[in-house]
Every structure is written in C-alpha cells, then in structure tokens.
Structure 1
Amino acid sequence: MARAFGVRGRRVALVGVSGIALVLSACGGTGGGGGATPESLTYLRNVENGNIEPVLQTLADGACSEQNERLPLEVSTIPQAELDAQIQMLGGQDALPVMFAAGGTPAEGARLWDAGMLVDFEAELEELGVLDMIEPAAISTIESLYGGAFNFLPFQFNIEGIFYNREYFTENGFEEPQTWDELLDIAAAFEARGITPFAASGEQGWPITRLVSGYLYRSLGPDALQAVADGDARLTDPEYVEAAAAVADLGARGYFGENIASLDYDSAQNEFLTGNAAMFYMGTWALTAINDPEQNQIGLDNVGFMPFPAVEGGAGSIDQYPSNVGLPSTFNARTYTPEVGDWLRCITENFGELSLRDEQTISGFKPQNPVPDLPELTQDVQQRIADSSETVLWFEALFNAKAGQDSSSNAALLVNGQLSPEDFMSTLQTDLDTD
C-alpha cells in the first residue's frame, strides 16, 4: 500500500514491500528507473535507517529547493533484510531508482560497480567542484569495501576505538595506553579493584571480534584481512590465531566480567554508561547514547575516546582507525543527468552540516560551517576523522555470510574458553573456503 503526500512542493512516496518493485519498475519513464531521463529523485532506502531521510527532506525544503522543484524527492523504504534481493531484482530489470542504499553485503555493491551500474563519484564530484567536501578517510573506507572505487556516498561515517571512563583513569593515575601491553596492565589494575575492565556484548558477538581485527591490524598491518580475502593468508596461520588468542586471554583473565555471554548491545553499553565498566570498545555511533544525559549516568565530560593501541613490533599504526559508512547510498549511472548532478552537488555541500546539527550524526561530508554547541567529545571525533587519511575495516567486512554469522555466534565461546582460538579461526576459514 503506497501513499503520496505533498510538503512544500515535495513529493515523498512511502511504499510497502509488496508494492515497491511495481512502483520502481514503473519509474522507467517518469521516476528514474532504467536509462530514461528521470522526472523525480527516487530514493530507495532501508526502513531501519531513519537519520538520512530527514536531512534530505530538510534540504528539499531549503538549500536544495530549486533542485527539488526540477526533480522532486521521492523516498521508498524496504526492510534491510530484503534489500540485497530487491536491488538484484531491480538491477536485472534495468529498473534501479535514481538513488538507492547499498545492500548488506559489500560484494554486491562491487558487482554493481563492475556491471557499470553505479556513478563514479570521484570523477563526478571533481567535475562538480565539490570532491574536497568529502573526508578522505570516508573515501578510503568506501574504496576498501566496494571494489576499490569511490562509488557510494558516506551519509554516515564512524570510526571505532575505546571509550573510557576519565574519572577511573585519573583516580588510578592512568594515561591512555599506547601499546597492548599497557592496556593489559590497566585492565589488570581495574579488575583487581573490582571494576570490570571491558563492557562487551557476547550476545551480538561482533563487539568481541572487533578486538580480534584490531589486534590483527596493529600486528600485521592494514592489509591483514585483505590478504585473507585474496587467498594470500589464512585465518589458521599462526599470526592470525595469535590475535584470537590475545582476545581469548582477556576473557580468561575475567576482564569482560562474568556475564558477557548474556549481555546484549544495550546492556553492555549501559554497563559502561552507569560506571560498572571502565572501557567500552565501540564505533562512534555510540555518541548518540553518550550525548544523552538520561542514558549517560557517568557524565558526558567523563567519557574519553582513544584508538586501539599498538602491538609491540607490529606493522600497523595507531592512527589507522577501523571505520564504516553505515549502509551508504549510491546513484544509478543509467539515470545520472545534469539535473541529478545538481542534486548531488547540493547534497555534498550541505548534508554534513545538517546531519550534525539536526540528527547529531557524523557523516563523511565535511560541514561547510562550524556547528555550534557540539559536545567536546563529538568535536574530538570529528577532528580525528578529519586528520585520518587511511582507514581499516572490521573483522567480518570481507567475509561471506556464513563466516560472518559463525564469527558473531562463536565470539562469546572464544572468550569463555569453550572454543579454542585455533578452532574459532579454523571454523571461519572453513566457511571462507566453501564460498
């Protein structure tokens, strides 16, 4: 069931799953499917992401109102779990919308690029004179994920690191650890004082495996997991098992507390924000909760952020932040016209500032003007992003679906001692071998 409504000259279509293919494929001559000249800026996004559309609608009403008059914004939504299949179907019918969100599997986006279906944003933004409005770190992340090209837009951009309780660190005379060994010393001291060193969700699993990839990137360098994807290394190689063993050792020492297997994401975050845990490895999307005084009981000024520390003798650098771009969006190359290009330029010039001001969400678009009254921690993260030029990915980023699922489901077993580091990595390598 679809319904359309007008807001200041804008048309926004909200389309149910059952009707979405019909609506989008019908856009061949009017809304932007196929290779026809579009008459609207059709945008297919996953329903779970509610941060992007409000910013685009604000742009349609304001800074991009002229563009919206020529190509009205029309938004359709679909559950993320169905997005990959929907994009594949529409691509096969040459009926992709003008703009659409990436599927959940980066390899699918790379296939669309190889098939010539996506806009080359490096070339087009350079032509439009606004390429410098994109953070280099965001471009680096997209290139790593989607076949080596800048072919998706970073409507969201997060780096990952360790949030920590400043008061606990100060009380105990600790400075930010620069090495893994220093981090272990700090964790041991907190555990001895009855403070859980690390909050993490064993139920989700991936907050634990992020530590494994962090160790790998610091010990073997930024290409550690790309080498596995390329077949030049295996997760069962000794230096890879070492990373899993290092994280398993954190669990063996009790540094995650006693109930990690039963903690979900929100509960683990709450452990940190209520002062029950000293540190919390997470992406900067956690700033939403940290900046919320109802959730953050330890106080915003009491939260610090630091990078994953170096591994002594390792090939990685402490300023290579793991990063992601959420579920980014792209443009259909077949329907890219000068009018669509005008929209792209206006989005690039204005999205970063509005997203930060209205949604408190950091994107890969640089704000044109400073946003007033931002919390100090948010400003710190922004500066770290601006200072970064090379990023790395997360543990499962280049895995197939089976390996990704087994990685998350077995992570708690790894740190609880129920699964050895060798068996953990062997299971994942077997999954990769059967792809």
Structure 2
Amino acid sequence: MPLRTSRSRRARLSVLTAGTASLALLATACGGSGTGSSAAPDNFDYLSVTENTTVKTTLGSLSKGACKTANDALPLKVETVPQASLDQKLQLLAGQDALPVQFAAGNAPALTQQLAKSGKVADLEAKLTELGVRDQLEPAAVSTIKALYGGELQVLPYEYNIEGIFYNKELFEKNGLKVPGTWDELVAAAAKLESKGVQPFSASGQQGWPLTRLISGYLYRSLGPDALQKVADGKAKLTDPEYVKAAEEVAALGEKGYFGKGVGSIDYDTAMNQFLTGEAAMLYMGSWALANISDDEQNKIGAENTGFMPFPAVSGGKGSVDQYPSNVGLGITLASKSFDQKTGDWVSCIAKNYGSTALEDHGSISGFKVNTEVQDANEVTTQVRDTISASKQNVLWFEALFSTKATTLSQQNAAGLVSGSTSPEQFMQTVQDALAAP
C-alpha cells in the first residue's frame, strides 16, 4: 500500500520541533466559564490545517464508508487554514462563540488548555466514556496527551508517533554487534563501527532537534520520566550537574566523530538518506520515518534490514527502556457547545474505525486501536505498531515543555554542542536562561 511522502510527515513534525506560536488570548475570547447557548450543528464542521491532508482525507473516507450513517445525519464539512494562522483563527472564533464542531488544536497545548478552562472544549474523557469508546484509545497515546495537556484528555490522537533508534541490521551483523541495551553498550558499538570505517550515527545538525532528542533520552533514562517536568516546574535546572551530564554524553559522541563530518550543515533529507543508503549505521528518529523506510526507492538497504530499538538504559538510572518519547502531532479536539447526539455518533464511529482506515489507506499510525486486519508494509512497521500497543507510559521530547525562545536556542545550539564550539555547560546555561526569561 502506498505511504505518504516524508515531506508531509515533516510538515506535521514541524508542529513539534519548531517552537510554538504566541498565546496572547484576548479576554473576550475566553472570558468566563460558560459555553454559550447550545445549538445543534448543521454539519460536522472540521477546521484543519492546510499542511496536514491525512486527517481530512481519512475522515472523508470514513464519511463514505464506515461512518456513512453518521455523515448522512451530520455531513462532514472541512475548512482549512495555514498552520501559522491557526491560533489566531481559533482565538477569533472563540471570541465569537463560534468554534466549529471539531478543530485542530492550537500549536501550543496552552491554547487548548485555556479554551478548556473557559468551557469551550468538550470534556473528552467524560464524553468518550459515556459513548462507551474510551477503550478505543491506545494507553500510550493517552499518556502522551495527558503529559502535554496538564493531566487532561483534551485532544484526540489522530496521529501518534514514538521515537527510538533505527539501525542497519546488516551492518550490525557484519561487525558482530548486538542491539545495545545500555548507553555504555551503545557507545561501545559506535566505537567499533567507527574503527571499521562505518559512520555510527546520522543526524541533522541543521535542524538541531535530532541531537537534542539524545539529551532528553539520556535524561529520561538516568533521572526518570519526570526529569524535564521538574525543570518546567522549577524544581530542577538544566544547569544542575546531573542535567549537564546528559549534554556531556551527547557532546562526547560528536567529539569522537560519531556523527560524521559537517553535522551542522546536514539537513533532514540528507540525514535520512545517509541512513537509508547505508552510509550510517544508526538514526534516531520517530515512527513517521516508516514512510521513508517502506519506500523502496529511498531505502537502499531494504526494509528487511532496518531494525528499531528503544533508547538504551543508563546504568543505575531511574528510567525504563519501555518509556518511549512520543507525540500526537497536531491534536484534534471538539467544541463543547455543539457536542450533541449526532456529534457523538460521529465520534463513536471515528474511535472504532479511524485507526484501521488511516493505517490501511495512508500507512499512518494513530493513537486509536486498529480493529481490523491490516497488512503492514514490512516487519519493522509491525514491530513499531506492537510497541505502541504494549506501551503504557511514555515521555516527551527535550523541548516539549519549553518556551518558544528556549526551543529555538536549544535547536540552534545543538550542532555547536556536538562539534565542540559550544560546551555542555554553555549549552545548558543558554537554554536555562531562556526558560527563566519573562
């Protein structure tokens, strides 16, 4: 089955890696706690972003198939806006008490939380439970949503990604390597590959986040799943010795040349290509890369030679290897005002059928359970799906709880960290200062 291109996947990922938009909500937009008079909607209105075509296309397929009855009663109607304009559009509609039935949540979780606080977003935990479909959400996806949205289930997981290390099975076998279970074993494997003339890791220093993900991975394994929440809560600082340690470990990989030459100028496509053509043995990436891996034109090493492993454990650490960094893309939520029986019928149908339809038609993994037999493109896709289903507690990424300024500085300075132009202490101090800024 055809899978979406890496470009569309990266457009979705940009929501998570490029920082978030301003949250200057007008008092009129979210004032008070009322939701306005209830009004039965004429359509199942869905406000989407132009950059994401998968959700609206999948909903369109459902409207003609499994959800035709719901659609006949409440026809699907889709409107799109550029992602950069989404927050402003939502604020305007909220101020007019005219939010659509279903809409792409704001670029930052704080916007949706503000709308929910003012009573404009439906209580999805209660609604899904009332409809009897709460169990159709994968526990790992729910864990991720609640970590982002202050412990509340405020969006639906129309997409779901976990992150880990993809590796070249053939190169590992040729060099007598087993899948590393600990950070020390990973470093030792990288050293052996380097000694054999094989570049251990491929990463985009130009984007930065593939490198900072390694820092957060180390932090979660060494300090536990609440490591970065403590920073967000002011209970710890990135400049604390145990946090600087994580930056030191990642910097050491760069110092030893394990990312190859000129990592700071490597863009996303080049990093992906280095791995898929066998130039590098490992690539830290999210499950959106399955689209590239399943594309025979891109993947010259072959999907059958592509493996996936969790970020390894840190000896003596408080974290667990089954706590995968994860995200739900740009979440989708529903307005409280228009959530009536017909809307409920749509939501019930989506919960039961979206997972299968998205996977079968688009090769897209969502946070909904897959209730039909769907033939995966390859073994590694099956492995990732099984991992998602088995996962109970997931963690976030390095910048997930950062301000826009801190996110930008983190990603801009990541290449310097691994190239040696920025020390681990300087890197963490720069980001911490940005977090502390008003």
Per the TM superposition, whether the score is higher than 0.5 is yes
Letter of the structure 2 residue corresponding to residue 376 of structure 1: E
Structure-1 residue corresponding to 2:198: 195
The Cα of 1:146 is off from its aligned counterpart by 1.1
Note if contact 1:159-1:284 (Cα within 8 Å) is conserved in structure 2: yes
Structure-1 residue corresponding to 2:335: 332
Structure-2 residue corresponding to 1:54: 57
Letter of the structure 2 residue corresponding to residue 171 of structure 1: K
Q: 1-side partners of 2:53 and 2:242: how far apart?
A: 41
Q: 1-side partners of 2:110 and 2:194: how far apart?
A: 41
Q: Report how many residues are paired.
A: 404
1:2-401 equivalences in 2 (<5 Å): 35-401=38-404
Q: 2-side partners of 1:290 and 1:74: how far apart?
A: 34
Equivalent position SS for 2:402: coil
Which of 402, 405, 411 is matched with 1:402 structurally? 405
Note if contact 2:205-2:211 (Cα within 8 Å) is conserved in structure 1: yes
The Cα of 1:33 is off from its aligned counterpart by 10
Equivalent position SS for 1:198: strand
Equivalent position SS for 2:337: helix
Where do 5+ consecutive residues of structure 2 fail to align? 1-34
The Cα of 1:120 is off from its aligned counterpart by 2.0
Note if contact 2:294-2:377 (Cα within 8 Å) is conserved in structure 1: no
Where do 5+ consecutive residues of structure 1 fail to align? 1-31
Q: 2-side partners of 1:342 and 1:214: how far apart?
A: 40
Letter of the structure 1 residue corresponding to residue 171 of structure 2: Y
The C-alpha deviation readout for 1:362-408, integer Å capped at 9, x for no partner, is 00000111202541111111110011010000000000111111111
Letter of the structure 2 residue corresponding to residue 320 of structure 1: Q
> 1 or 2 for the larger relative contact order (CA 8 Å, sep ≥6)?
2
TM-score by length of 1: 0.91
Note if contact 2:376-2:382 (Cα within 8 Å) is conserved in structure 1: no
Letter of the structure 1 residue corresponding to residue 62 of structure 2: L
Letter of the structure 1 residue corresponding to residue 72 of structure 2: E
The Cα of 1:184 is off from its aligned counterpart by 0.2
TM-score by length of 2: 0.90
Q: 1-side partners of 2:87 and 2:423: how far apart?
A: 34
Q: 1:204 to 1:302 in 2, by over 3 A?
A: same
Which of 414, 417, 420 is matched with 2:417 structurally? 414
Which of 412, 427, 430 is matched with 1:427 structurally? 430
Equivalent position SS for 2:201: strand
Note if contact 1:33-1:335 (Cα within 8 Å) is conserved in structure 2: no
